[in-house]
Amino acid sequence: MSLLGFGRVLVVTAVEAERAAVAGGLGAATAVTTAAVGVGPAAAAAGTARLLTRAECAGEPFDAVLCAGIGGGFAPLAAVGGLVIADVSIAADLGAEDHDAFVDVEALGFGRSRHPADRRLLDGLRAALPDAVVAPVLTVSTATGSAARTAALAARVPGAGAEAMEGFGVAAAAEGVAFAELRAISNPVGPRDRAAWRIPDALARLRTAFAALAAFPAPPGPAEPPAPAA
């Protein structure tokens, strides 16, 4: 079974609980490989690169990479218990401070801080998960825990939907392979309040999302060429 019409798909998460939720939703989708690669952009990039390299060396390269897991949602756009599909994964704190301003790596001339989702994969996710919010997902190395930082990030990336810690790293490792990111929202981005976290609910939402993806019909392939005339 393929996922959204892609042949071999790699779904990477940060931790085992997320991977188990994804695998539980997928069921018998045997063309999909799931792996927990570690927390943070560096671990995510290293783990994803290792898996992609091994597959390529074995002559079975992946056709798509999906970073999945739970994350914080920016209110009011992304509510706890909802889903956010990233149209772009952004390394939100990759850059430099210039007094009170933040300068991203593009402005510094050092590289890139944004990886757009693959259009075909994004369209498939949107079709299979019509209730999901489509918005930028921010990758950070330190989870936000204050109103001031929440406001700064929201101003830096207007329309941001969610915050997590792996998407940009996975995208960087998957350069040249179709990539997208999907997050189930476990808590609002803002002042740290563990009583407001709904991690089991978010993991359950992740599971149902991947069940929906597994059940969604693949788009039709290219038409067969006409048979030669007799």
pLDDT in tens, 40-59: 999 999 999 999 999 999 99
Residue 94 — very low, low, confident or very high, per pLDDT cuts 50/70/90?
A: confident
Res 95: pLDDT:
85
Does the 9-190+209-215 domain belong in CATH 3.40.50.1580? yes
Structure tokens that stand for 65 in this block: 């990479």
Non-local (6+) Cβ contacts of 187 within 8 A are 72, 73, 80, 193, 196, 197, 198, 199
pLDDT in tens, 64-90: 999 999 999 999 999 999 999 999 999
Place of tokens 């079974």: 1
The domain ranges of the chain are 9-190+209-215
pTM over 0.85: yes
Structure tokens that stand for 109 in this block: 């001339």
H/E element holding 87?
A: strand 83-91
Res 1: pLDDT:
64
CA distance linking residue 9 with residue 30, whole number of Å? 10
Per-residue CA distances from 222 to 109, 132, 161 (Å): 41, 28, 34
Q: Letter for the amino acid at 19?
A: R
CB hemisphere CA count around 92 (13 angstroms): 30
Res 29: pLDDT:
66
Average pLDDT, the chain: 91
Degrees (nearest 5) of the Cα angle 82, 85, 190? 55
Percent of the chain predicted with pLDDT > 70: 94
**Cβ 94 vs Cβ 165: under 8 Å:** no
CA distance linking residue 191 with residue 212, whole number of Å? 33
Report the 10 Å Cβ neighbour count for 100: 6
More confident residue, 220 or 32: 32
Degrees (nearest 5) of the Cα angle 62, 49, 20? 70
Res 100: pLDDT:
82
Res 192: pLDDT:
87
**Per-residue pLDDT for 224 more than 90?**
no
CA distance linking residue 90 with residue 184, whole number of Å? 17
CB hemisphere CA count around 17 (13 angstroms): 10
